[in-house]
Amino acid sequence: MSKMDSLQVFVAAQAELLRYAARLTGDSTEAEDVVQEAWLRFRAAASARVLDEPKGYLFRIVHNLVLDRHRRRVRENQVFASDATVAAALVASDEPSQQKYLEAKDELALLHKAMAQLPIRTRRAFEMHRFEEMKLVEIAAELGISKSLAQELVMDGVEHCKKALRRRD
């Protein structure tokens, strides 16, 4: 079949091929791509040999291209989905390990014990600063002391807790 004959067969069947491909793919843009690729394959086949049913051959090419695209998409989804599953399994958990959890629990118990040993006013100044996020001026006003004394009480509390944690190690 000459190039001109194959072009005439294709042009005559093009609208029908587009509808067929769109029905198979569900996407008119993809259907256009399939029909374009079908033309390239059809032209190569028609120039290499004589086609008994050129229009039927065109439809078979479109059908096979759609099938190939579908299989490739399924395979890619499987590969990428399994890669994502494997990658997700390799991501470390945000949860602390059992050992870290127990260490933190022990450390917290030591801090509670150390705070219980502080004088009441020092402990209260430390708690207001660390847990209630109060400023030294606010602590001084609350306890009826100077800002410098409030700072000294907070620092004493911090140092006492640090020492308690160092003794543990």
Domain-wise residue ranges, the chain: 1-82, 98-168
CATH topology for the 98-168 domain: Arc Repressor Mutant, subunit A (1.10.10)
* CB atoms closer than 10 angstroms to residue 125: 28
pTM of the model: 0.48
Per-residue pLDDT reduced to its tens digit, 6-50: 888 888 989 999 999 999 999 899 999 999 998 898 888 888 888
**Amino acid in position 168:** R
Q: CA–CA separation, 166 vs 149, rounded Å?
A: 26
Q: Which helix (H) or strand (E) holds 95?
A: none
Residue 81's pLDDT is: 67
Per-residue pLDDT reduced to its tens digit, 56-91: 999 999 999 999 999 998 888 877 766 666 666 666
